[in-house]
Chain A
Amino acid sequence: MSMTVSLVFLAVLMAVFGGWLFSYSFRVRPWEAQAAGSRQVQGLGGGQVPPAATAPRVGLAVFLAVVTSLFALTISAYLMRQEMAHDWHPLAVPGVLWWNTVCLVLGSVALQLAWRAARHEQPTWLLRGLLAGGGLTIAFILGQALAWRQLQAAGHYLAANPANAFFFLLTALHAAHLLGGLFVWSRCLFRLQQGATPGAMRQSVELCALYWHFLLLVWAILFVLLLRT
């Protein structure tokens, strides 16, 4: 069953969460009170939150889990529809997608550099990295639009075949998430323009970079899926 894709994702997620919780609850006797000196009583987050897990990072991780669920389910639907239908005509993926993929990879790399620059307090490189990352992403989205137009021109209309419809749906969903990322990216640029220091930007740039890497991964999976079927 194609729902397996979503279920595997959920199983992994729940196993991680369950394992983490288990490690904190195993052999714990919750009804026992703790004296003032104990470890838990000193740290916030019940003394159970590792320092690297800041609220924005955890927030992003949870959000990425939600997005993963969205894509996993769409992919499940894709596979299921393909299984059920007799009218599936695989789509020849337009060649421009390869170029788009290169753009997105480079964009991700550029944002990674920007993050590095923010950590090392290098304002010029931060700006360059951000501009390159955003620019390449915009190029990617335009490239996707071009691919759509090529398909339309070749007569592969949205409604003509479920394979086409899914191609448009998946790429549109992915592009919509990139656009959301670009909104945050533009706010970063704006703040940089207002004179924010790289140190103050570190958090935002980090979140952007992580989000981009994630969407690159999603794209890689989608692309393989589209190529394979």
Chain B
Amino acid sequence: MADHGQHSVPHAPAGEFDDMELVHPKTFLGKYVWSQDAKVIAIQYGVTAIAIGLVALVLSILMRLQLGFPNTFALIDPASYLQYVTMHGMIMVVYLLTALFLGAFGNYLIPLMCGARDMAFPYLNMLSYWFYLAAVLILMASFFVPGGATGAGWTLYPPQAISPGTPGIDGGILLMFASLSVFIAGFTMGGLNYVVTVLQARTRGMTLMRLPLTIWGIFMATVMALLAFPALLVAILMMLCDMLLGTSFFMPEMLNLGEQSGHEGGSPLLYQHLFWFFGHPEVYIVALPAFGIVSDILATHARKNIFGYRMMVWAIIIIGVLSFVVWAHHMFVSGMNPYFGFLFATTTLIIAVPTAIKVYNWVLTLWRGNIRMTVPMLFAIGFIFTFVNGGLSGLFLGNVTVDVPLADTYFVVGHFHMVMAVAPVLVVFGAIYHWYPKITGRMMDDTLGKVHFWVTFLGTYAIFYPMHFMGFAGVPRRYYGYGETAYIPDSIQTLNAFMSVAAIIVALVQLVFFYNLVRSYFHGRQAGPNPWQATTLEWQTEHTPPRHGNFGAELPVVYRWAYDYSVPGAKQDFLPQNMPPEAVEADDAAPRRSP
């Protein structure tokens, strides 16, 4: 709604961002703190998200300590355990992955890959980050209020989220609501930018069907997030009314540890419908950018075009759209009308088709390629393997009957960690190794990167694969301890201890990554403008790292799609998107490609 005087010239040509006025501050604060440069905002988002992600990582280790070695640590009582569960989940899903993929990668890559000077509304973009930071700080504050953070599970189901017997029903849950609301407001500002920039600010020749899949993934995820987050906002507002004003949107007649609560007639299932209307798309909000990024990493490092580009684009869109009509598969055993099970099992399994196509196309991209086994490529392959595993276990949970015995067991925990925790995080790492040279001008260390990859990839598999079997055995999730449960064999405890040790090792190896990140910044090999010989526009900038405004005096003009690797007839191994057909040197040794 803010006015943008610079575009208000009557009949300005559409999306004429070429001569867009950029704010060029002179002071350090203006350049690096109150910056309106999407790249700086991206770094701010990234650093904040990773910092908060580390908190969530520590929480997960605390959980694993309790599960692996129960009743050993005086610090961890049942209330703390539930708080760790809740905060770990919420931070990882919303504050780490959503913010990292859209806020950090989105901000860095959208303008560069689209060939724009900056985001469409830079001021709003800056505000978006500060809102996000405020949301993170509010969330952190909830650890320190009386009663501590909320322990209602990341789904925040009423009635328990605001009823006695759950930790953090005083300040913790309120701060959670506040933080999420601020996050949503901030995200909306950022999201408007990402969408409008992709739609409007593409450079000359950058047609929709020439966009790199990274941009498609981020774009579709943003659209989904913009439409899905309101569901969470509405749900939060209504629960807040129930909590503070005594309304009964979600709260039925019930007892609070023996006392009548005074609510009447509300429906806890209504909340679940709203929550999962947000919550399920949220899964794909995390997954789609990962899909996009991994496609580009695979193509670049296999020196081959992405296989079936159009199919890939449409698969992203179809997955995005379908993800809005599958939400109730999270509620098969929620007590809703069981007949919905037929509908939602069907829609859920349909979504497996475009997802499978994506997997095939990734593998087929490698097929007949010339695979350079770089660190980003390792992470990309690790992603495919992990994602195949997680995707297939989803077929158990999406199929209503199969879900019944497995719901609320460790099978679910194993599944969603594979598919929306480990898989996207592997992509995040791959993407950081891939774009670090552009961001800093230096390469990251290869050996350290490989150590990081192997321990992370194998370690996470050792943590999460066995969880599926605990799920088959019926081990329920969100349990502080298992004590003597008749049907759970003692060997499960041994398994738990093993997974905990694996988790600690994986957490520790992240230190290698951070060491690499910092060390390479000062001592890394000089990267040059295009170390991976990639085609997309961010590698064709005049300066590395790109300056404010991204490109030189002229915006690049795009003549081809993002995947012209190993084009027959061309001498070059790769043709950058902005290379005109006239500039392509013919390779006399090979037959020319048909026009």
Direct A–B touching in the complex (beta carbon < 8 Å)? yes
Q: Whole-angstrom distance from the CB of A225 to the nearest CB of chain B?
A: 15
Which of B15, B16, B121, B231 is most buried by chain A, counting CB atoms within 10 A of its CB? Answer: B15
Are the C-beta atoms of A87 and B3 separated by less than 8 Å?
Answer: no
Q: Whole-angstrom distance from the CB of B550 to the nearest CB of chain A?
A: 14
Which residues of A are found within 8 Å of B188, using beta-carbon distances?
63, 66
Total cross-chain contacts (CB, 8 A): 243
CA distance A34 to B223 in the complex (A): 29
Which residues of B are found within 8 Å of A73, using beta-carbon distances?
230-231, 234, 274, 277
A55 interface neighbour in B196, B203, B226, B561, Cβ under 8 Å: B196
B202 interface neighbour in A25, A46, A85, Cβ under 8 Å: A46
B7 interface neighbour in A46, A54, A169, Cβ under 8 Å: A54
Are the C-beta atoms of A55 and B7 separated by less than 8 Å?
Answer: yes
A158 contacts the other chain (Cβ, under 8 Å)?
yes
Q: Whole-angstrom distance from the CB of B575 to the nearest CB of chain A?
A: 8
Known: A44-B13, A159-B247. Contact between A77 and B227, CB under 8 A?
no
Which residues of A are found within 8 Å of B591, using beta-carbon distances?
none
Which residues of A are found within 8 Å of B4, using beta-carbon distances?
55-56, 203
Which residues of A are found within 8 Å of B16, using beta-carbon distances?
44
CA distance A215 to B313 in the complex (A): 34
Known: A70-B234, A162-B265. Contact between A10 and B270, CB under 8 A?
no
CA distance A30 to B580 in the complex (A): 15
CA distance A67 to B184 in the complex (A): 12
CB-nearest residue of chain A relative to B555?
Answer: A44
| Contact pattern, A 3-21, Cβ under 8 Å of B = 1, otherwise 0 | 1001100100110011001
A49 interface neighbour in B15, B264, B563, Cβ under 8 Å: B15
B247 interface neighbour in A35, A50, A52, A165, Cβ under 8 Å: A165
> Size of chain A's interface in residues, with CB distance under 8 A?
77
B207 interface neighbour in A3, A47, A53, A63, Cβ under 8 Å: A47
Are the C-beta atoms of B199 and A36 separated by less than 8 Å?
Answer: no
A80 contacts the other chain (Cβ, under 8 Å)?
yes
Are the C-beta atoms of A24 and B581 separated by less than 8 Å?
Answer: no
Q: Whole-angstrom distance from the CB of B296 to the nearest CB of chain A?
A: 14
Which residues of A are found within 8 Å of B238, using beta-carbon distances?
77, 169
Are the C-beta atoms of A159 and B202 separated by less than 8 Å?
Answer: no
Which residues of B are found within 8 Å of A181, using beta-carbon distances?
1
A25 interface neighbour in B209, B234, B277, B581, Cβ under 8 Å: B209
CA distance A228 to B202 in the complex (A): 46
CA distance A40 to B89 in the complex (A): 45
Which residues of B are found within 8 Å of A33, using beta-carbon distances?
559-560, 564, 575, 581
Known: A50-B14, A69-B230, A162-B247. Contact between A200 and B5, CB under 8 A?
yes
Known: A81-B249, A169-B241. Contact between A43 and B7, CB under 8 A?
no
**B-facing residues in A99-115 (Cβ within 8 Å):** none
Q: Whole-angstrom distance from the CB of B166 to the nearest CB of chain A?
A: 22
CB-nearest residue of chain A relative to B595?
Answer: A32
| Contact pattern, B 1-38, Cβ under 8 Å of A = 1, otherwise 0 | 11111011011111111100000000000000000000
